[in-house]
Amino acid sequence: MTRALTFGAVAQAYERFRPGYPQELFELVTEYAGRPVRRALEIGAGTGKATRLFTERGVAVTATEPDPAMLAELRLHVPGDVRTVQAAFEDVRTTQRFDLVFAAAALHWTRPGGRWPRVAAMLAPGGVFASFGGPMRLADPAVEAAVAAARSPFLDRDDVPSPDGTGPEAPMQWPGTELQQSPLFTDVRQRVIERRTTMSAADFVGHLSTVSAYLELPPPTREQVFHRIAEVLPDTVELIADIFVHVARLGPDSGGGAPAVR
């Protein structure tokens, strides 16, 4: 949870260096829904990378985000009348029911206790939950090893471990694993949208400057790590930026349409 509140200090860099989401993702989620998605609630909207994917296609999104600096950046870049709520997911209060509740690279920042009952209470009967995201990884193993060695005196790893301990080799990844165990949801599916991108070494370091593991370091140490990493990078780097998508449907016996979340 501490890491979740570190991004506001780099909101502009987050907007600049984090990639957006493709049309294919919108189509995957809405085709799975099988009916019009008119209203959606977003968990941890950040600077609106995913918000704009849905609002630009006619979905009325309520974007929730605990950090005011991230929300300010979102309002600069998301067109239309998106509704914003400054609140952590656990503190969101709503009397609305949504066709879709979604999280883009943000669900792991929510508290496990009560996560799924809270999502279920926000969905209209038959509504859909979607979570999507994934780490950006260096495609060249030699470059990846060099970067790991450069940061090793300061950081063992710079990713966020799976919240439930699911290993990367498992056929179903988190949060699909939790959704499968929840009696509130059904028809849990996992899809992977393959994505590759190339960026300059400077932009890659800019991307790292938005990663929570580095943001937790003292500023002088952080700059030292970035300098060490920059020294081992080629001029341009290729990245694997696959998007893991998990979707699930509110079950018929879940209590959809239950009293408002207060």
**Tens digit of pLDDT at every position of the chain (262 positions):** 555 456 667 899 999 999 999 999 999 999 999 999 999 999 999 999 999 999 999 999 999 999 999 999 999 999 777 999 999 999 999 899 999 999 999 999 999 999 999 999 999 999 999 999 998 999 999 999 999 999 999 999 999 889 999 999 999 999 999 999 999 999 999 999 999 999 999 999 999 999 999 999 999 999 999 999 999 999 999 999 999 999 999 998 776 544 445 5
Q: Is residue 155 part of a domain?
A: no
CB 100 within 8 A of CB 40: yes
Amino acid letter at 110? T
Estimate to the nearest angstrom the gap between the alpha carbon of 150 and the chain centroid.
27
> Is 246 among the domain residues?
yes
d(CA 101, CA 106): 12
Structure tokens at 64: 């929730």
pTM of the predicted protein model: 0.93
Give the per-residue pLDDT at 257: 47
Could you tell me if residue 66 is inside a domain? yes
pLDDT computed for residue 79 by the predictor: 75
Q: What CATH number does residue 89 fall under? A: 3.40.50.150
What is the domain count for the chain? 1
For 57, the domain range is: 3-136+161-196+240-250
The owner of tokens 């509504």 is 127
The DSSP bridge partners found for residue 244 are: 133, 192
Q: Please give the pLDDT value at position 5.
A: 52
So what's the pLDDT on residue 259? 46
Note whether 64 and 42 are within 8 A (CB): yes
The answer to whether position 231 is within a domain reads: no
Residue 215 falls inside a structural domain: no
Answer yes or no: is 202 within a domain. no
DSSP, collapsed to helix, strand or coil, labels residue 190 as: strand
Residue 7: inside a domain, yes or no? yes
Rounded Cα–Cα distance for residues 72 and 16 (Å): 14
Angstrom distance (rounded) from CA 83 to CA 60: 8
| Other CB atoms within 10 A of residue 127 CB | 25
- Angle, vertex CA 33, rays to CA 32 and CA 39, nearest 5: 140
Per-residue confidence (pLDDT) for residue 9, from 0 to 100? 74
Does a structural domain hold residue 30? Answer: yes
Confidence at residue 197, expressed as pLDDT on a 0 to 100 scale:
96
CA-based nearest residue to 60, from 75, 74, 81, 77 = 81
